[in-house]
């Protein structure tokens, strides 16, 4: 009988030694499947939606030494989670001017996780403004409203590792690196 190795993100979440993490645990399988190739590669990870900062710690642990984590939130109290390997940027993800400043501050993004405001306006602005950054490997949206914009591929879909992006500008596919 073959056993499936434990998912390190699930292990971290259920045995969390740090700050509170608010995530739907069924996302860990998807995260791990697409993010595993970045482990030990010192990626730049941007997460929109900091909340209590626990997932920022989880990403740093998961990806390993040299990982640069950038958290984005509208709540200025989140600045308190900043440390030597974590930068916190405060602003509204629907504000394209703010997102332009993010592009300047973070010229390369390997992984973009949108777990922020969950409105279509915010998610469309984020995807349009930040998915053009050099080095973007994987844009990943989380939350019930993101399904209206990004449809992750599922096991029976022939499209492979692509995301189908819908919006006012039509449909296009983003190839996952």
Q: Residue 120's domain is classified under what CATH number?
A: 3.40.50.150
The reply to whether 53 falls in a domain is yes
Q: How far is CA 159 from CA 128, 154, 155, 169, in A?
A: 22, 9, 10, 21
The reply to whether 65 falls in a domain is yes
List strand residue ranges (DSSP E) for the chain, in order: 44-48, 68-73, 86-90, 111-114, 138-141, 150-151, 162-167, 170-175
The reply to whether 104 falls in a domain is yes
Tokens of 28: 């860990």
The reply to whether 59 falls in a domain is yes
Closest CA to 48 of 122, 103, 152, 134: 122
- Give pTM, 2 decimals: 0.74
Asked whether the beta carbons of 59 and 19 are under 8 A apart, the reply is no
CA angle centred on 27, ends 154 and 119, rounded to 5°: 90
The reply to whether 9 falls in a domain is no
The reply to whether 21 falls in a domain is no
Backbone angles phi, psi at 30, to 5 degrees: -70, -45
Ordered per-residue pLDDT tens for the chain, 177 residues: 555 668 999 999 999 888 888 777 778 888 899 899 999 999 999 999 999 999 999 999 999 999 999 999 999 999 999 999 999 999 999 999 999 999 999 988 888 888 887 678 888 888 888 875 555 455 555 544 444 344 444 433 334 444 444 333 333 334 343
The reply to whether 24 falls in a domain is no
- Domain count within the chain: 1
Q: Which domain holds residue 90?
A: 42-152
Q: How far is CA 84 from CA 11, 44, 67, 91, 101, in A?
A: 25, 14, 11, 21, 21
pLDDT at position 129: 86
The reply to whether 168 falls in a domain is no
Looking from the CA of 21 toward its CB, the CA atoms found within 13 Å total 22
């Amino acid at each position: 009988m073959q056993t499936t190795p434990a998912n390190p993100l699930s292990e971290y979440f259920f045995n969390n030694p740090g700050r509170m993490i608010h995530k739907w645990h069924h996302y860990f399988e998807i995260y791990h499947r697409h993010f595993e190739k970045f482990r030990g590669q010192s990626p730049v990870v941007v997460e929109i939606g900091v909340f209590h900062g626990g997932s920022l710690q989880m990403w740093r642990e998961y990806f390993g030494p040299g990982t640069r984590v950038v958290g984005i939130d509208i709540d200025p109290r989140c600045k308190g989670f900043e440390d030597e390997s974590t930068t916190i940027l405060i602003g509204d993800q629907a504000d394209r001017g703010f997102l332009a400043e993010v592009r300047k501050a973070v010229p390369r993004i390997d992984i973009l996780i949108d777990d922020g405001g969950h409105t279509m306006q915010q998610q469309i602005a984020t995807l349009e403004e930040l998915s053009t950054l050099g080095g973007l490997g994987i844009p990943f949206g989380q939350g019930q409203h993101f399904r209206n914009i990004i449809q992750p591929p599922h096991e029976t879909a022939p499209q492979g590792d692509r995301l189908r992006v819908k919006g006012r500008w039509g449909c296009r596919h983003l190839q996952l690196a």
